[in-house]
Structure 1
Amino acid sequence: MNEFKIKPEYSITDEQSLRGLFEATHTLAILKCQDTLGGHAQEFIRRSPFLCIGTQNLDGKADVSPRGDPVGFVKILDERTLAIPDRPGNNRLDTLVNIIANPSVGLLFIIPGFDDTLRVNGQATLVNDPELLKSMSVNDRAPKLAIVVKVSEVFMHCAKAFRRSHLWSPDHFQDRTEMPSLVKIILDETTGAPSNKDEMRKIDDDLEEDYRRTLY
C-alpha cells in the first residue's frame, strides 16, 4: 500500500477556515454544557457499565482506553467528582502514566441499547485511599487504585453516530470468527504465530483461562 500524503491546499489548519465549512451551531448545543453532574447525568452514569477515557501525555500523544464493569461501577462522590476503579489489565499503564503527566481527561459513558451518550471532561488524580477502594470491590477484590475525576464539563451527545453505525442492531453484528483471535493477531504482528492449529488453539484457551482468573 502506497503512503498517503495530504495535499497542503486541502489541509484545514486554522479555526476560522474550519468554522467556515459549517453552519453555526444552535443555542441549545452551547447551553447544554454544564459544569456539574445534574440529576439526569448522574442517572446515566449509574446505568452505565462501560466508558472510554481519553488522555494525553505532556507531548500531546493521545490515548483512549475502554473501562467496563457491572452497571454503576463509576462512583459519584459528589456533583463534581467521579471515581473510576482501575481493574487488572496488561500493566502497560498508558492511561495512568498520562494522567500523572497531564491530568486532563475526557470520558464517554455508554449504555447498551442507548444511542445517546454522556460526555464528561475534567481533571484526574490517581488515588489509593483504602476506604474508597474497598467500596469499589467486586468479588471481594478491591482495585489497586482509582481514577478520581474533578468534573469541569458535562453534556449529552446526540444519537447520530450510533444510529449511523447500527451498533446495537443484531442485523449488523459481525461474525468474530471471520478474523483471527486476539492472540493470533498480536503474534502475527510481532514474534509470529504458530502454524500448528492445535498449538494456536491452546494459546487461545490459555488467554480465556487468564481472563477467568484475573478479571478482578
Structure 2
Amino acid sequence: MQGIAEREDYGVRDEEALRRLYPATHDLAIQKFQASLGRHAQEFIRRSPFLCIGTQDMAGRADVSPRGDPPGFVRILDPSTLAIPDRPGNNRLDSLSNIIANPVVGLLFVIPGFDDTLRVNGRARLTTDPDLLATMVVNDRVPTLAIVVEVQEIFMHCAKAFRRSHLWDPAYRQDRKEMPSLIKIILDETTGAPDEQAMRAIDDGLEEDYKRTLY
C-alpha cells in the first residue's frame, strides 16, 4: 500500500478545536465516573481473566502490557484497592520500572464474550508482602511480587469498539499461521531469521519454554 502523507494544516492542536469536531458529551457518559469499586465493578473484575495495564515513565514514554490468569486473579482488597499478581514474563520489567518512576496507571478489564469493558485509573505500587502473594498461588507457584493499585476513577466502557471489530465473532477469527511466528517476526526485523529447519527448532523451543515457565 502506498504511503499517505499527513497534511500539517489539518492538525488538531488544542481542546477547543477538538471539541468542535464532536457532539456534546452525553450526560450518562459524564455521570458514569466513580471513585471506588461498586458491586457491579467488583463482579466484573472477579469474572475477568485478562487486563491491559498502561504505564508511563518519568519522561512520559508510554507502555501497555497484557496480564492474564484464571478469572478472579486480580484481588479486590477493598473498594478502593486492587492487587495484580506479576507472573513470569520476558524480564524487561517495563511496567514495573515505570510504576517505580511514575505511579499513575490505567487498567482495562476484558471478559471473553462481553463487548463492554471496565476501565480503572489510579496510582500503583509494588509489594512482596508474603501474605498477599500467598493468595495468588497458581500451580504451586507464588508470584514474585504484586502490583497494588489505589483506585481513583472507574467507569464502564461501551461496546462500540468490540462490536466494530467483531472481536468475539468466530466468523472473523484469523488463522495465526497466516503470519510468521513471534520469534521469526522479531528476528526478521532485527538480526535476520535462520533457515526454515532452524527456525522450526527455535519455535518448538519457545513452546516448551511456555510450558515450563508459564507460572
Name structure 2 gaps, 5 residues minimum.
none
Q: Secondary structure at the match of 2:136?
A: coil
Q: Figure out how many residues of one structure are paired with residues of the other and give that number.
A: 215
Shift of 1:25: 0.8
Q: Distance in 2 between matches of 1:151 and 1:12?
A: 31
Spell out, residue by residue over 1:24-63, the C-alpha distance to the aligned partner (whole angstroms, 9 max, x if none).
1111111110000000000000000000000111111100
Name structure 1 gaps, 5 residues minimum.
none
Return the letter of the residue paired with 2:81: T
The equivalent residue for 2:175 is: 175
1:5/1:100 Cα in 2 relative to 1: closer, same or farther (>3 Å)?
farther
Shift of 1:3: 7.2
Q: Distance in 2 between matches of 1:78 and 1:60?
A: 30
Aligned ranges 1:187-206 → 2 under 5 Å: 187-195=187-195, 197-206=196-205
Percent of aligned pairs sharing the same letter: 72
The equivalent residue for 2:212 is: 213
Return the letter of the residue paired with 1:202: A
Q: Secondary structure at the match of 2:212?
A: helix
Return the letter of the residue paired with 1:186: I
1:23/1:80 Cα in 2 relative to 1: closer, same or farther (>3 Å)?
same
The equivalent residue for 2:138 is: 138
Shift of 1:5: 4.8
Q: Distance in 1 between matches of 2:148 and 2:4?
A: 40
Q: Secondary structure at the match of 2:133?
A: helix
Shift of 1:192: 1.3
The equivalent residue for 2:147 is: 147
Q: Distance in 2 between matches of 1:6 and 1:180?
A: 30
Aligned ranges 1:16-165 → 2 under 5 Å: 16-165=16-165
Return the letter of the residue paired with 2:203: D
Greater shift in the superposed pair: 6-15 or 61-70: 6-15
Shift of 1:8: 2.4
Shift of 1:191: 1.6
Q: Distance in 1 between matches of 2:142 and 2:154?
A: 28
Q: Distance in 2 between matches of 1:122 and 1:163?
A: 27
Shift of 1:9: 1.4
Return the letter of the residue paired with 1:131: D
Q: Distance in 2 between matches of 1:141 and 1:6?
A: 50
What TM-score comes out, normalization by structure 2 length? 0.97
Greater shift in the superposed pair: 103-112 or 7-16: 7-16
What TM-score comes out, normalization by structure 1 length? 0.97
Shift of 1:198: 2.0
1:2/1:175 Cα in 2 relative to 1: closer, same or farther (>3 Å)?
closer
Q: Distance in 2 between matches of 1:6 and 1:123?
A: 36
